[in-house]
Amino acid sequence: MYDTPLKQGDSADHPTGCGPVLPVMGRDTTTLRQQVFDYVRASGRAARADVTRALGISAGSATTLTADLIARGMLREVEGLAREQGRGRPPVALEVVPDCKHVIGIKLSDETHTAVLTDFAGNVLADASFTTPLARKDLHVILDEMDTLIADLLKSAQMQIADISAVAVGLSGIVDHVTGTVVWSPFLTKRDADLNAGFAARHACPLFVDNDANMLTLAELWFGVGRDLSNFAVVTIEHGVGMGIVIDNRLFRGSRGMGLELGHTKVQLDGALCRCGQRGCLEAYLADYALAREAATALDDPIAPNQHQHTTLERLYAQAKAGNKAASTIFQRAGRYLSVGLSNVVQLFDPELIILSGERMRYDYLYADTVMKDMQSLTLSDGRSPCPVEIHGWGDLVWARGATALALSEVTTATLSEARAQ
């Protein structure tokens, strides 16, 4: 279990880089110039010879492309590692110019919003958080809260909004990544909220919007264990149940922004009421509001309108650990539903790894041995190696860190597309 953001490296002198390490499978639609830049950023520091070997290009092409990236102020030459014999000129390496661009990543949630500001190499320069009332909000209120976070970051880093190349936002619900429209979110009062247009009316800085589970998946792909994996899934259990998946080293979103909504797959027809308005969703048995709803009965203590669910869940967990059978039964029941959801993920996608993450994963009932065994028993895995499951209980900031990965990716593509046009 972890409670701090993913770290990029142990020393600024020897950066370990950020971004996917493995090459994209199949046809890569990015330009060769961007592939060179992405490779250097992922490596942290790389010699031109490393670039030629990794991308399968000629030494001349590597020299030309890196010279162009250096001229544009995106890469710089640094002294490489000294030769073993101590003779000759030390090899020259390349690394990203950190101050070339800056981006902001934001995670919006029911109770606490978080934000991170990073440079172009992915180094965190500042972070901020904002506690918000647990209630549905109008779009302008959300935009006001985002502005508060951005102002805090800029003040901490002693920067201006003009210094920011892009902002990326992740939030729960159904999000149209292409248009920046939030089709539905549990903490917005209206459907089809145009977050992109609302932000554009306030700032000239580009905004990119995506589902928060996708942001956490990007955090694993860019900064975590997913850097070395071609196919993996991330399942989040917090205020809701989310999922993100990487296929062939790329985040998979679906065609209309409605894919991978694991929390709203049906596990019981006409079952428990979900906050989306439908019944029988997996989320209605696993999310914090579902556990709190059951806790009101188990603890014989109805939840007050202004009482945070966190308080109720902590009491429920303490009671379960103390031997309260009704309390432990609630977690065990949730664990059984989780095993159903995970087995469906394995059966549909056959990932190399499933990462369970989110605040609720501190409750060990949800990943007990019986839950993992049930998951395996529900899949057609006889005679095959079972899908491994890891628990990553990252802190809130890692969601925002994942949003910076989206911003970095979009800014890189836009910058190098402009260079190509010129």
**Which tens digit of pLDDT belongs to each residue from 132-155?**
887 889 999 999 999 999 999 999
Dihedral sign of CA atoms 191, 168, 226, 368 in order: negative
Residue 127 lies in a domain: yes
Average pLDDT over residues 369-378: 92
The CA-to-CA distance between both ends of the chain, in Å, stands at 48
Write out the residue range of the structural domain in which residue 409 sits: 100-217+397-421
pLDDT at 419: 61
Exposed / middle / buried, residue 316 (Cβ in 10 Å: 0-12, 13-18, 19+): buried
Local confidence band at 219 (pLDDT 50, 70, 90 cut-offs): very high
- Identify whether residues 202 and 245 lie together within a single domain: no
Hunting for tokens 């869940």 — which residue is that? 313
Average pLDDT over residues 169-173: 93
Residue 246 lies in a domain: yes
Average pLDDT over residues 243-272: 87
pLDDT at 275: 87
Local confidence band at 28 (pLDDT 50, 70, 90 cut-offs): low
- Identify whether residues 309 and 200 lie together within a single domain: no
- Identify whether residues 259 and 385 lie together within a single domain: yes
Give pTM, 2 decimals: 0.89
5 vs 96: CA distance, rounded Å: 22
Residue 62 lies in a domain: no
pLDDT at 293: 86
Which range, of 91-100, 101-110, 258-267, 337-346, averages the lowest pLDDT? Answer: 258-267
419's CB contacts (< 8 A; 6+ apart) are 33, 68, 72
Q: Which helix (H) or strand (E) holds 53?
A: helix 48-55
CATH number at residue 209: 3.30.420.40
Q: What does the chain come to in residues? A: 422
265 vs 260: CA distance, rounded Å: 9
- Identify whether residues 268 and 286 lie together within a single domain: yes
The rounded percent of the chain whose pLDDT value lies above 70 is 89
Helix, strand, coil share of the chain (percent; to 5)? 40, 20, 40
Dihedral sign of CA atoms 26, 31, 33, 37 in order: negative
Burial code (b: 16+ CB inside 10 Å, e: under 16) for 304-313 equals eeeeebeebb
pLDDT at 86: 52
Largest Cα span, the chain: 78
- Identify whether residues 240 and 204 lie together within a single domain: no
The radius of gyration computed from the CA coordinates of the chain, to the nearest angstrom, equals: 23
Exposed / middle / buried, residue 60 (Cβ in 10 Å: 0-12, 13-18, 19+): exposed
Which range, of 29-38, 97-106, 336-345, 354-363, averages the lowest pLDDT? Answer: 354-363
Q: How many domains does the chain have?
A: 2
Q: What is the pLDDT of residues 306-317, one digit of tens each?
A: 556 778 888 888
264 vs 268: CA distance, rounded Å: 11
Q: Which two tokens stand for residue 386?
A: 């079972």
Local confidence band at 298 (pLDDT 50, 70, 90 cut-offs): confident
pLDDT at 10: 42
Q: Work out the angle at residue 298's Cα, subtended by the Cα atoms of residues 293 and 303, and round it to the nearest 5 degrees.
A: 45
- Identify whether residues 371 and 417 lie together within a single domain: no
Dihedral sign of CA atoms 321, 327, 328, 334 in order: negative
Helix (H, G, I), strand (E, B) or coil at 241: strand
pLDDT at 3: 39
pLDDT at 335: 92
- Give the residue among 406, 404, 379, 416 at the shortest CA–CA distance from 126: 404
pLDDT at 12: 46
